[in-house]
């Protein structure tokens, strides 16, 4: 079991130990309502991904925005944590491996409506053999590769039907549907490219489901999703659910893609100025890559924010970025070449906020979230961490 969130507190940011993970609750709610409204306009259903925040309270805020059914997780620890907190319809969207079979079965035995995914006949056979020995039945979605991004079977290939038949015919496993993740959408740079990616994700997944059904196999679930394509998609015909996660908080990568504005980013890291290097035009803070993560996702995008864009404590953008980081040191430099830093404007002990490149990677560094409303910390929410 996980510790419950701490009682509400009212605090200025100055009272927080740094580095600290901050969440703007109003922005979170606005972000959640925005995607829920879009999906509702298409008569679709969301299955929100909780891997970004790994926090029950955030998941409840997202659920309250409406048009959501169940959740998506990326680790079994997340599944256990959320099930213990009352979420019982859970899709584990990372390929299952034999060392996790028993842990997944334990959730099923406790009454969790857990579904899993895989993309090889070999893994399906191993799962069926485990179920034959240990009991139970595993609802399983076939992962599709619709854009050459990572894992999954070819929607047009022979393996799809071979794997579908195995899951349908073997005891202990159940063919529950198909799923995909349009990971290549993160490389899109225009609304037209995003729409094309979203339509490809939908069309190839719906076509794969049709192939299974034409072969006499069931395919009740047709699951697609990524934050960029969830916002871009214009028709969900044939799709039963849309998965997305980072949209609840957003980040600099999403801003560069054009999915959100900088002012929509709900997550930031509070750091303290600990020193200067005047001859190098640097501020030094106590937040390094353990606080922001090593993710440099904006490096290949139209704006390179280094390790993060810098705000003041009120959330106003400053002409600064975290240009470099070591484990516990962050280097703050001018965002524009040739400009200087007036160190007198940032006294030792003063605080700054840094917007993350990748919200999931940054949030994953922390065990709790300091929740802000109107610039004041009003609560501390615990979160899951690990695998």
Q: Model-level pTM? A: 0.93
Please say whether the beta carbons of 381 and 22 come within 8 A. Answer: no
Query: In the prediction, which pLDDT does 11 show?
Result: 64
**323 and 176 part of one domain:** no
From residue 359, how far is each of 51, 95, 181, 326, 344 by CA, in Å?
10, 22, 18, 19, 31
Domain span including residue 197: 25-248
Question: pLDDT by residue for the chain (387 residues), tens digit each?
Answer: 344 444 344 468 999 999 999 999 999 999 999 999 999 999 999 999 999 999 999 999 999 999 999 999 999 999 999 999 999 999 999 999 999 999 999 999 999 999 999 999 999 999 999 999 999 999 999 999 999 888 999 999 999 999 999 999 999 999 999 999 999 999 999 999 999 999 999 999 999 999 999 999 999 999 999 999 999 999 999 999 999 999 999 999 999 999 999 999 999 999 999 999 999 999 999 999 999 999 999 999 999 999 999 999 999 999 999 999 999 999 999 998 878 899 889 999 999 999 999 999 999 999 999 999 988 999 999 999 999
Kindly state whether residues 112 and 206 are assigned to the same domain. yes
When divided into structural domains, the chain yields a total of 2
The reported pLDDT for the residue numbered 337 is: 81
Residue 259 in any domain: the answer is no
Nearest to 345, CA basis, from 313, 375, 322, 372: 313
Whole-number Å distance between alpha carbons of 101 and 114: 12
Residue 65: both structure tokens together: 């925005």
Q: What CATH number does residue 317 fall under? A: 2.40.37.20
Residue 374 lies in a domain: no
Residue 2 lies in a domain: no
What's 153's DSSP letter?
A: B
Token representation of residue 138: 């595993």
Q: Are residues 151 and 289 in the same domain?
A: no
| Residue 219 included in any domain | yes
Say which CATH number the domain at 212 has.
3.20.20.10
Query: Does residue 19 form part of some domain?
Result: no
Q: Is residue 7 part of a domain?
A: no
Residues 155 and 230 grouped into a single domain: yes
Q: Is residue 367 part of a domain?
A: no
Q: Answer yes or no: are the C-beta atoms of 221 and 203 closer than 8 Å.
A: no
pLDDT at 67: 94
Do 103 and 198 reside in the same domain of the chain? Answer: yes
Reduced DSSP (H G I as helix, E B as strand, rest coil) percent helix, strand, coil of the chain, to 5: 35, 25, 40
Dihedral, 88, 83, 85, 381 alpha carbons, nearest 10: -120
Same domain, 205 and 276: no
């Amino acid at each position: 079991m996980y510790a419950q969130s701490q009682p509400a507190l009212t605090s200025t940011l100055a009272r927080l130990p740094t580095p600290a993970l901050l969440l703007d609750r109003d922005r979170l709610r606005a972000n959640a309502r925005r995607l829920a409204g879009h999906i509702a306009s298409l008569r679709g259903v969301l299955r929100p991904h909780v891997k970004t925040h790994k926090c029950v309270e955030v998941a409840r805020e997202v659920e309250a925005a409406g048009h959501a059914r169940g959740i998506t997780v990326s680790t079994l620890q997340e599944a256990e944590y959320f099930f213990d907190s009352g979420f019982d319809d859970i899709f584990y969207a990372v390929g299952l491996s034999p060392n996790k079979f028993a842990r997944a079965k334990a959730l099923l035995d406790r009454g969790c409506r857990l579904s899993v995914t895989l993309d090889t006949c070999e893994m399906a056979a191993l799962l069926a053999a485990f179920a034959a020995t240990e009991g139970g039945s595993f609802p399983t979605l076939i992962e599709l590769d619709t854009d050459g991004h990572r894992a999954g079977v070819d929607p047009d290939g022979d393996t799809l039907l071979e794997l579908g038949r195995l899951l349908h015919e073997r005891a202990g496993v159940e063919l529950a549907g198909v799923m995909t993740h349009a990971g290549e959408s993160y490389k899109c740079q225009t609304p037209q490219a995003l729409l094309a990616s979203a339509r490809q994700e939908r069309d190839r997944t719906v076509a794969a489901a049709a192939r299974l059904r034409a072969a006499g196999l069931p395919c009740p679930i047709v699951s697609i999703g990524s934050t960029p394509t969830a916002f871009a998609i214009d028709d969900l015909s044939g799709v039963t659910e849309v998965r997305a996660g980072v949209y609840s908080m957003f980040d600099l990568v999403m801003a560069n893609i054009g999915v959100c504005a900088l002012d929509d980013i709900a997550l930031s890291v509070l750091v303290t100025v600990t020193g200067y290097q005047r001859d190098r035009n640097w501020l030094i803070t106590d937040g390094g890559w353990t606080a922001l993560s090593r993710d440099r996702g904006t490096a290949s995008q139209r704006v390179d924010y280094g390790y993060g864009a810098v705000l003041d404590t009120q959330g106003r953008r400053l002409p600064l970025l975290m240009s470099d980081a070591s484990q516990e040191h962050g280097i703050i430099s001018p965002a524009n070449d040739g400009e200087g830093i007036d160190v007198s404007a940032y006294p030792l002990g003063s605080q700054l906020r840094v917007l993350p490149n990748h919200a999931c990677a940054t949030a994953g560094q922390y065990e709790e979230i300091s929740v802000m409303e109107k610039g004041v910390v009003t609560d501390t929410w615990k979160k899951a961490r690990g695998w």
